[in-house]
Amino acid sequence: MSPGSAPLPRRRSPRFDYAPLTRPVDPREVRIFREEATKAGMKPTEFDNGALMASSIAGAFLALVMLAVGWNAHLPFRMPGAIVLYAYFGFFGAMTIACISIGIPASAWLLHAQWRDCYRLTRFATTNRMTYLPTEGGRDFSGAVFHMQGAENPRASRVFRSMNTSAFEVVGLYSYSRDKSEIHWGYIAIDLGHELPHLVLRSRRRAWAHRRFLAGYATSRPIQLPGRGSCWFDLYSPSGVAIEPGVVFDEVLLAHLRGLGRGIDVETLGTRLFIYASRPFKTTQTRVLRSLFEIVELVLDKRT
């Protein structure tokens, strides 16, 4: 998910070091990282392009076999069957050329890019006292996304998790199966260290995906947000507890949330604040990842 083009308010120096995301990547270091990760049984992402490479090679081999079978059959190229033979050889010939000239090189490049990005994101996480997991099982948080009715086989990809007392995690892709469909989210979970009333912030710019998510709270009257916040979001207090919205959702945070695009919703439960995205976060893009961690910074500033 790409941030919007709206200008965001300036703030103090960042608490995260973003240099590892922009520094040149040494191919030798990526190769060593890949070898060590492969020995440890780690995949670069949930969707490993190694399978795409294998499929391209298998496709080329199958097409060549079919061409050999057709050629060795010594079938006559006479009408009316000639058109079938031309179609047969044309199809498997084109398949062979496509797999060898496009499929195999493209899958090799994508596999290289996966490991390069995995190395770069791991380097960023290590520099900032986080762990980075290319893939893991689903989380048992209290937030709405983690308890969707009928959800099966939850899993996460591109997971950044803090290693210090300021507990947070940023997840680029959270998926589960439901009714034979794959459902995808992105999310941020941050522990504020103090109890909060149950609050629900819904974006007015709804993406088609999950457009009805948290809609049950829209029956109550929204709370007035600071600045232009009410033009972008609706804030509800399901518990009925009165709260000054700027304590949690000040104008700076709301502007950054809006910058993430459509379908951004927020929920507070217990001591945690959850930010949900109706589409996965494109964390391999530096500007997107930075925008996510700038939001983490803003929320952690409120931690007590």
In 3D, which of 280, 282, 288 has the Cα closest to residue 256?
288
pLDDT, residue 180, reads 84
What the block records as the tokens of 176 is 């589960």
pLDDT, residue 289, reads 96
Give 113's contacts (C-beta < 8 A, 6+ positions apart). none
Q: What 3-state class would DSSP assign to 264? A: strand
pLDDT, residue 81, reads 64
Q: Residue 4 burial (CB < 10 Å; 0-12/13-18/19+)?
A: middle
The amino acid sitting at 261 is G
**In degrees rounded to 5, what are phi and psi of residue 186?**
-125, 155
Q: Residue 200 pairs with which residues in a beta bridge? A: 236, 267
Dist CA 9 CA 269 (whole Å): 27
Dist CA 299 CA 293 (whole Å): 10
- Residue 165: CB atoms within 10 A of its CB come to 8
pLDDT, residue 220, reads 77
What the block records as the tokens of 181 is 């469909």
Helix (H) or strand (E) holding 153: strand 152-162
pLDDT, residue 87, reads 81
In 3D, which of 25, 57, 288 has the Cα closest to residue 49?
57
266: left (phi over 0), alpha (psi -120 to 50) or beta: beta
**In degrees rounded to 5, what are phi and psi of residue 126?**
-60, -40
Dist CA 113 CA 103 (whole Å): 15
Q: What 3-state class would DSSP assign to 163? A: coil
Q: What 3-state class would DSSP assign to 201? A: strand
Kindly report the pTM of this predicted structure: 0.80
Q: What 3-state class would DSSP assign to 192? A: coil
For residue 80, is the peptide bond before it cis, meaning its omega torsion is within 30 degrees of 0? yes
Residue carrying structure tokens 């084109």? 94
Dist CA 173 CA 156 (whole Å): 6
Q: What separation in angstroms does the CA of 222 have from each of 186, 237, 240?
A: 25, 8, 11
Q: Residue 41 burial (CB < 10 Å; 0-12/13-18/19+)?
A: exposed
pLDDT, residue 203, reads 93
* Residue 168 CA, distance from chain mean position: 16
**pLDDT under 50: residue ranges of the chain:** 2, 4-5, 10
